[in-house]
Amino acid sequence: MEVITIEFRIQLVGLIVVLCYIIFNIDDVIWEIVHLIKKRRVDSEADRVSMESLEAIPSKLLAVIVAAWNEDSVLEPMIENMLASAHYPESMYYVFLGVYPNDDATVAVAKRLERKYKNVHMVMNVHAGPTCKADNINNVIAFIKQFEADRGWRFSAIIVHDSEDVVHPYEFKVANFLLERYDALQFPVFPLQRMPTLKNFFRGMTSGTYADEFAQNHFRIMGMRDTMSAIVPSAGTGFVISHRILDEYENEPLFPEDNLTEDYKLSLILAEKGFHVHYVLEKVQRLLDNSTVKWDYIATRSIFPATFKKAVQQKTRWIYGITMQSITFTDIFKPSELSFAGRYTLYRDWKAKIVNLLVLPGYLVFIYFIVSSFVSLPIMYPVSTFAWRACILLTTIMIFHQITRVIAIQHIYGFRSVVFACLLPPLMPIRLIWGNIINLSATLCAWKQLFFGTQKGNKKKKVAWHKTNHEFLEEHVLHRYHRNVGDVLLEKGYLDSDTLQVILDQSLKEGCRLGDALLQSGAVTEEQLMTAVASSQHRLFVKNISSFTCDIADDFDKEWLEQSLVYPLLKTKNGYVMAETNFTQADVYENLEFEGIEIHTVYTTKTKILDSIHGTDTVKGYLNIDFITELLMQDKITWQQAVLALDNQDFTPDILGYMGLKPKEATIQMLPGIEAGAAFAAAQEAAATTD
């Protein structure tokens, strides 16, 4: 009778464990099925960004926020890499570094960056650090609003990044495009990891668990949330917030300062207010150093903790902040504007604090099963019983989850990572088990903090910044993330990868420049090539040189302009803005600079320069160039901003307002006798006639 009792108890424990796993996992499978059905009904390409269309709209002002506390070791290389690699006009994005008065090392770095780059500004926090990340960001936002008021500018959005991020070169460009349609954007975050080998497998196990989990979440689950119109949570970095949201908050702090995961809490608040956070999963083709082409996701990349202790500390903050501070069970059902899908995703996030604990009894049951194969023990799941059938169902669910995990890792990190993450050793993915143990430990710490932590009973108290110490990549590794001419040509759709590969091989064989080989073969036009060259060199390309035609050309000898292949576009306080081509000699301005004349240069085509010199390009813009020049002379805009405004004036009559550069007291001065609407219509008609 006693043996039967022990068997019954063992089978009961096994049944309870398997039922708990099914209850907390079956909804994920149902969600996947519903998502697949909806995805079939909706054109999945409808919301995809056409990469070649990104240049169709002018650049708008963007503000980048980097909150920093004890980040002196990574802040400088992070900012310099972002500035060197971003394919966005440097005068159209400004970087604001939030620092603390009692963090001398980080302040010194921020001051050095501010002196070196005109578009970098240090923002000193009004409090001694560390406060919390939310307080730091809110302080920077207040500074940005004053920055706007002083200049009469308006940033289209703020972009939040961490001080260890490798920012994708096309992030700002894609954000500029999508802000026309969405209130907020979240770009993917993919952890950096070394190429896995047997030698570094155990050393990189912890950081590898981050790669696996973020691949699953940011390749699949976040996209599913977006498709299902559910809550897309902020990842705390790569998060873009439009000025429309800032206007809604007016002088109130945007990020909640009583939460360890202020980014997630803000996402929930925005969803309740009716603002949609769009998840951006876009990719572009890349030409690698070995002349092969691969797809590259427009995502934020960074190094995550590599030790068990640091990983547990970080994930404790995430689990506590999200599941115990941001969400309560009643939040799922309380009256609000949230859809059913939104409420479900709240439940899905909330249940993590329970699901992670199931790892412990689950692994104990698994160990019992393994031991029972070698030692005579009571059977936990007798064949053909309800518990046995439930166990079969659970096994099917787990295999399904493992398959989706394989697909996600394959897309982001490749097949080798799949082998080390899911297939080593066979049938027992060690890295998955290790990740579950980390999550279990972090969840236990979060529960301990909930019951015994200092924040209990004081939900409004500002929480301290529980930050993670960060690392950054070496300079030679960072160079891999920069874009070359071939990358830009592929991104803009000017030619396909096969054609590029053939011409690249030809240029290497003949020892000539890729650009020369492309022009000789007729694969691209001069304008397409020069656009790509300008982009890869982070210089402006002027497509409408006729918009700049004015009397300053008379300041130069016509024959010299023609021989030098240059043309003056604007006059600045101390010199000129000159248009040149890829064929212009580097020393052409030596005499001018010797005389103390400051020369700024932009790219255009040889044809456009010659047409302007000989007066054959007669198409005129409708915005008075004198007005732009006046703003430039008054230091209300930079020379790059003036060039961009004039070059894009056919986009809208109020191009300065669209770009966020129009001073409050300024009124657009039109060409004599032409109204704004009529001028815009005339420009459109002229363009149509030309086409």
CA distances from 496 to 48, 53, 281, 289, 501 (A): 19, 16, 22, 17, 9
The CA-atom distances, in angstroms, between 490 and each of 45, 249, 282, 286 are 19, 41, 14, 7
Q: What is the pLDDT of residue 463?
A: 62
Distance CA 267, CA 507 (A): 50
**What's residue 51's pLDDT?**
66
CA distance 398 to 185: 32
Residue 130, SS3 per DSSP? coil
What pLDDT, on a 0 to 100 scale, did the predictor assign at position 680? Answer: 38
Element housing 655 (H / E): helix 655-659
CA 483 – CA 282 distance, rounded (Å): 16
The pLDDT score that the predictor gives to residue 681 is 43
pLDDT digits (tens, 9 = 90+) for 170-218: 999 999 999 999 999 999 999 998 888 888 888 999 999 999 999 999 9
Low-confidence ranges of the chain (pLDDT < 70): 1-4, 40-48, 51-52, 289-291, 426-428, 454-479, 549-550, 616-624, 664-691
| Cβ pair 153, 163 in contact under 8 A | no
pLDDT at 678: 40
- Taking each helix axis as running N to C, give the angle between helix 415-422 and helix 386-413, from 0 to 180 degrees, rounded to the nearest 10: 150
- The residue behind tokens 């396909």 is 496
Which of helix, strand or coil describes residue 239? strand
Query: CA 47 from chain center: how many Å?
Result: 17
Name the strand (E) or helix (H) holding 286.
strand 283-287
What kind of fold does domain 50-352 have according to CATH?
Spore Coat Polysaccharide Biosynthesis Protein SpsA; Chain A (3.90.550)
Q: Taking the model in full, what pTM does it have?
A: 0.89
CB contact burial 33-71 (16+ within 10 A = b; e otherwise):
eebeeeeeeeeeeebebebeebeebbbbbbbbbbbbbbb
Using CA of residue 238, residue 244, residue 245, residue 249, what is the dihedral sign?
positive
Task: Return the biggest CA–CA distance within the chain.
Answer: 111
Question: Looking at residue 568, what is its pLDDT?
Answer: 94
What tens digit of pLDDT does each residue of 442-458 get? 999 999 999 887 554 44
Q: What is the pLDDT of residues 315-355, one digit of tens each?
A: 999 999 999 999 988 888 888 778 899 999 999 999 999 99
Residues 6+ apart with CB under 8 A from 544: 619, 621, 646, 647, 648, 649, 650
Tokens 């790059």, residue located: 640
Over the range 398-414, which residues count as b (16 or more CB within 10 Å of their CB) and which as e?
eeebeebbbebbbebbe
